[in-house]
Structures are given as structure tokens and as C-alpha cells.
Amino acid sequence: MLSRLNELIWADWIWFPEGYGWDDLKDHDGKVFPKTRDLWAVLPVSLCFLIIRQIFEQTIALPLASLLGVRDKHRDCVSPNPVLESHFCSKSKHPTQRSIESLSKQTGCSVRQVQRWFRRRRNQDRPSKLKKFQEASWRFTFYLLAFFAGLAVLVDKPWFHDVKLVWENFPKMPLLTSQYWYYMIELGFYVSLVFSVASDVKRKDFKEQIVHHVATILLISFSWLVNYIRAGTLIMLVHDASDYLMESAKMFNYAGWKKTCNFIFTVFAAVFIITRLIIFPFWIIYATGVYPLSLYSTFFGFYFFNGLLVVLLILHVFWTGLILRMVIKFLPGNDIVEDERSDKEETESDDEDDCGKPKNGHVQNGHSVLNNHRKRD
């Protein structure tokens, strides 16, 4: 039964146009074609990326951060409070007003003190500016190298200049060594991002990022299996074209280089919109989803591949909205660009006291503490 199910899943008519199939991807006459087993190489590649990243962040990103003047803001630690800590960890990091009043009675702290404790506790869990800089510098380095490496791989290929040629001789297109390594490195990097997602900086678009990573991994893997490699390389190049600019803008943002950050971000916004909302849909998706209709009858693999491209396009539209919001914010007042996806620290008033921690000796909130009784706000 399992054998029958396997045959059904990998049936030629599901993944290829009529008249073609998996037999067309068998090596012959010195020509090599992509194989399913090749994807196993992605695991050691992704592991290497995780190791190289740790070394890079400590030996290159840290000294670079110091050189650019990146400094972490001092954060006051909360005073130990088992009741509040238990609520923070097990129930909610953002307690309701009713919960705050209940916690105030349980701990003997004022409502304002409880609110301040939770603000400080949330700030403690937020990633430091230095950690954000390290992550941005790592991604900047990869995206920059990947873009120019991809450009070197593709610039002399006919389908780089005429995207319709991605279907020439399909699926009997032999695999080039440069294409093999381009695929393994790109796919290995995105797999490493999935492995490191638990420790990476979590932003407001965390769920969208996960969807993006999964869709990208599926897209790259599927295009490898059915030899959509020419289209796949173009898609990867288009996506890498703007990413390194965004990461470099974030690096200068963390360093406080306002004018440099604003300039790079403006360039990034223009490149992002051109590559993701113009070139990607009107050249790439047209070449993979519209032009083939004049060559082949439709099949499931055709819909699956282009469906993943549409998912990426929807995410591009979503991120364009965030980008335009940032552009609108910094242009009028020429302020520094802040990543709309970042979880910003909450500010505190200087006149607020920490829970259970008197501010000026025995004076609490401007009132003396008598008989261990604190005046409530």
C-alpha cells in the first residue's frame, strides 16, 4: 500500500507537463540533472552556517559595533517578587487592570508600582541593541555576498536577459555546477534561519517571517526537484537584491548614524518596490505562470509552484506597507528610521518607585512609611 501511495504522490502527470516525467531527469551522456538525494547536503550546509554565524558575531560583528559606536542602553533590573514573576511567566506579560489591582493587594505594592514592575520586566526580556546589530550584520554579510555571487552566476545566462528562456528544453536542462552551489548555499541559509528562530530577535512580523521562510524553503526545494532551476535562480537573485540594503540601514540605525541610515533606507525602499512589486510579478511570475500556458497544458506542479510565488507576493505587499509607513515617519521631520517590526522599549517616569523598593530612604511616593503601611495610589 505504501508503495502504491508513493507511486501516486510522485506520478509524472502531477509534477510535469503531459509527455514528460522523472525519467527525463536521469543522468545521461555526461549530463547531470538535479536529484532528490542532493537536498540532504542542505543539512550540513545549514549547520556550517550556524557555526560560522557564532564565530562571525563574536569576532567581526562585536568589534564592528564598537567601531561604529553601538552602545547598549542601561536597563534597571526589577526587584525580586515571586508573585509578580509567577504571573509574568505563567499568565500574562501584559496584565489587565483587574489583574494589576489584584496583584497590588497580594504584594502590598501600589498599582503604579505593579505597572512599573511589569514594564521593567518586559524591557529585561527585550533583545539588546548590540544583539540586534550582530544579527543585522550577519544577515547583511550573507545577503550582500549572495546577491553578487548570484549575479555572477546568472549575468552570462540567456534566461537572465530573456526570462521566457527559463522554459527552453524543459525539463531536460542539465545542471550546472554554479547552479548547484547557488541552490545549496541559499537553501542552507534559510534552513539555518529556521533552526535559529528561537534565539533570533523576534519582531512584530514574526509570524509573517516564519511563513516567508517556510514558503521559500518549499519553493527552492520544489524547484530543485522538478528542475525549475532557471526560474529558481532568478527568484533568489531578485529577493537578495534589496535585503542587504535593509540590514545595512538597521546597522547604522543601531549605531545612531541618522543621515546614513535614512539615505540607505530610501535606496532600500526604492529597490524593494522595484524588485518585489514590479520585476517579481510582471517578469518572474509572468514567465512562470502566464507564458507557460502557451507551451504546456496545466498540471498540479504548475499551480503549486506559482501558488508559492503568490504567497511571497502577498508578503511583499504587506512589507511594502510597513516600509511606506517608515518612509512617511522620517521624511517630514528628518528623524531616524525605526524598524516598524521592532518591539520598542517602554519608557518610565522618574518619579515612579519600584515595587517594594523605597526611593528616598523611608519615603515612598512622597509619603512617610508608618507602621509598615504604604500609601496606595
Instruction: Report whether 134 contacts 64 (CB < 8 A).
Output: no
- Nearest-angstrom CA–CA distance, 214 and 284: 20
pLDDT for res 367: 39
Architecture of domain 82-125: Orthogonal Bundle (1.10)
- Domains of the chain, by residue range, sit at 31-68+128-330, 82-125
Q: How far apart are CA 343 and CA 65, in angstroms?
A: 21
pLDDT score, position 376: 39
Of residues 226, 203, 249, 213, the one with CA closest to residue 304: 226
| pTM of the model as a whole | 0.78
183/229 Cα distance (integer angstroms): 8
* Cβ-based neighbour number of residue 43 at 10 Å: 12
Per-residue pLDDT of the chain in tens (377 residues, 90 and over written 9): 667 777 778 888 888 888 888 988 998 888 999 998 999 999 999 999 999 999 999 999 999 999 988 877 766 676 777 877 777 777 777 788 888 878 787 887 888 877 887 777 776 667 778 888 999 999 999 999 999 999 999 999 999 999 999 998 888 999 999 999 999 999 999 999 988 876 776 666 677 778 888 888 999 999 999 999 999 999 999 999 999 999 999 999 999 888 899 899 999 999 999 999 999 999 999 999 999 988 888 889 999 999 999 999 999 999 999 898 888 876 655 455 555 555 455 555 544 555 655 444 443 443 333 334 443 33
Output the pLDDT for position 75: 64
C-alpha cell at 227: 528542475
Give the Cα-Cα-Cα angle 295, 298, 302 (nearest 5 degrees).
100
| Cα–Cα distance measured from residue 33 to residue 226, given in angstroms and rounded to the nearest whole number | 10
**338 touches 329 (CB < 8 A):** yes
**Residues in Cβ contact with 368 at an 8 Å cutoff, skipping those fewer than 6 apart:** 362
Note whether 14 and 299 are within 8 A (CB): yes
| pLDDT given at position 34 | 93
The count of other CB atoms within 10 Å of the CB of residue 7 is 9
pLDDT (0 to 100) of residue 109: 83
- DSSP for residue 140: H
CA-based Rg of the chain, rounded to a whole angstrom? 27
Half-sphere CA count of 16, side-chain side, radius 13 A: 17
Cell numbers 512609611 correspond to 369
